[in-house]
Structure 1
Amino acid sequence: MNIQIFGTSKCFDTKKAQRYFKERGIKFQMIDLKEKEMSRGEFENVARALGGWEQLVNPAAKDKQTLALLDALVDWQKEDKLFENQQLFKTPIVRNGKKATVGYQPEIWKTWE
């Protein structure tokens, strides 16, 4: 397994995801989205694994202005705007090769083991 956890150090669900993998002795790489954004390739691979970039949007994100702008854009502009504003991501984003989840999803992660 090659686990990557994208999230922030202040996110409770990100901490729970880290604890889940730590308790099972599964190595993972933590990427803090406040320090290093997801690359375009990572973004596209995760979006594909989730069935679309829409799954990445956190409707409860603090940046309400950018969230409203995202809603107002035409479809072909929305993906680029989300990529540019990764603070709108729902976290944690957990990636294992070509598989990915958003949020705390231990029932899916245990099928990866």
Structure 2
Amino acid sequence: MIQIFGTKKCRSTQKALRFFKDRGIETQFRDMGIKPPSPGELDDMAAALGGCDTLLDLESPAAKEKGLAYMDYNSREELLLNAGLYKTPLVRAGKGKAAAGLDENAWKTFN
């Protein structure tokens, strides 16, 4: 099963949900505003994508408000503290397979 982490208002998340629905692939949606990824889920996705920095959206309103572009920080700690910093959607297809953001090419490999 494919897990999709995002928010209901995120257009990229909606595109991911539609992408898998159109292909008849079962998904589990998790609203990160209600329940963000656990530390274990974060570590698994980060390992699949090359580190926590790949999950961080420096263009997000939360990142701009915090001023991340102008400070030193630990990406993992910041992501665990603020779900608004993630690139969405986060798509996870089992252990070791993940994609961050709107990445249909990666999603096609999850079938």
- The Cα shift of 1:82 comes to 2.2
Amino acid at match of 1:59: L
Unpaired runs of 5+ in structure 2? none
Hey, what does 1:43 align to over in structure 2? 42
Aligned length: 109
User: What residue in structure 2 maps to residue 25 of structure 1?
Assistant: 24
Residue equivalent to 1:99: 97
Normalised to the residue count of structure 1, the TM-score between the two structures is 0.88
Q: TM-score, normalization: structure 2?
A: 0.90
Residue 46 of structure 1 deviates from its aligned partner by 0.5
Distance between the aligned counterparts of 1:100 and 1:69, measured in 2? 24
Decide which moves more: 49-58 or 79-88. Answer: 79-88
| Secondary structure of residue in 2 paired with 1:112 | coil
Q: Please point out which of 77, 86, 91 is paired with 1:89.
A: 86
Higher relative CO (Cα under 8 Å, sequence separation at least 6) belongs to 1
* Residue 112 (structure 1) shift: 2.1
* Shift >3 Å, 4+ stretches: none
Q: Which amino acid aligns with 2:85?
A: L
Partner-residue secondary structure (3-state), 2:109: helix
> Unaligned regions of 5+ residues in structure 1, if any?
none
Take 2:3 and 2:100, find their aligned partners in 1: how far apart are those partners? Answer: 12
> Which deviations, in whole Å up to 9, do the C-alpha atoms of 1:29-73 show, x marking residues without a partner?
00000111110100110111110100111121112232x247523
Counterpart of 2:61 in 1: which secondary structure?
A: coil
The answer to whether the aligner puts 1:111 opposite 2:109 as a matched pair is yes
Cα distance, 1:71–1:104 mapped onto 2, change above 3 Å: same
